[in-house]
Amino acid sequence: MYFPSPLISALELKQELNNPQLIILDCTIDKVGQSLKDSPLTLIPNSLFFDIENRFSDPNSKLPHTLVSEEIFTKEAQALSINQDSILVLYDRWGIYSSPRAWWMFKVMGFNQVYVLNGGLPAWIEHQYAVSEHYASIPINGNFQAHFTYKWYADKDYILERYKNNDTYIFDARSNGRFNGAVAEPRKGLRGGHIPNSHNLPFEVVLNGNYYRTKEELSTIFEASNSSGTEQIFTCGSGITASIIAFSSYLAGHQNIRVYDGSWAEWGQENLILPIVS
């Protein structure tokens, strides 16, 4: 079974709950200054926890949320019983926040049968579907094998090579104030401003509350940027909200997209002295 779109509805998920290939992953992380750790755990039934912050981020990196190697990703994904033929549905308890990051991570690791639940847990609850207070047990290791796919990925060196090119369009998902350097960065030791020739698209623009805007609305947003037909690179503070707008571009029909893994947490470092406009 294949869902017709990478973005699925709560109803579509409910109809497939008995599919033996289906694996539901809660991809929730804390927001800056906000946490759900002290809230009662409410989940879609049979969920497993996809731990972006710890198991799927490099603990040796000084940057937040840095991708792990394909070997570690393979090991951790197998520990979640993920197989090569699994169908993955990703959600987060905020609505739409960190689940697109997990979607991008699986794409980078060469896995295609991965979908995002539109509206996340709030959408599921809105439909009054059953919920659980516990994660499901993990029966056996899966046979998932990661294969790092560079066409989805950008690092600092790739940005330096491409940011002056006319066929590369860089979107920054941070707020307008942070993009222009008028508002201080939430992380210490970072300069204000943005990558030269990048364009501001705050991630909230592509959302309608907890949901993504329609494909038509998203197409209009990207058409207004005159970015159609070019390579698109997405950045933000640490690679999380960049993935929100990268996924929205994919929904709008763009295929040549990359997320800058280090994002402003790397580019804005005072000691790197990288080109910045403010």
Residues annotated as part of the active site: 236
Please name the residue that has the structure tokens 């989805």: 152
C-alpha to C-alpha distance for 155 and 173, rounded to whole angstroms: 16
C-alpha to C-alpha distance for 145 and 81, rounded to whole angstroms: 12
**Rounded to 10 degrees, what is the CA torsion of 78, 98, 219, 117?**
60
On whether the CB atoms of residues 26 and 48 are closer than 8 A, the answer is yes
C-alpha to C-alpha distance for 199 and 230, rounded to whole angstroms: 14
Q: Which two tokens stand for residue 136?
A: 């499901």
On whether the CB atoms of residues 233 and 260 are closer than 8 A, the answer is yes
C-alpha to C-alpha distance for 200 and 215, rounded to whole angstroms: 20
DSSP 132: B
Amino acid found at 251: L
Report the Cα 10 to chain-centroid distance in Å: 19
Distant-in-sequence, close-in-space partners of 236: CB < 8 Å, separation ≥ 6: 172, 173, 174, 203, 242, 263, 264
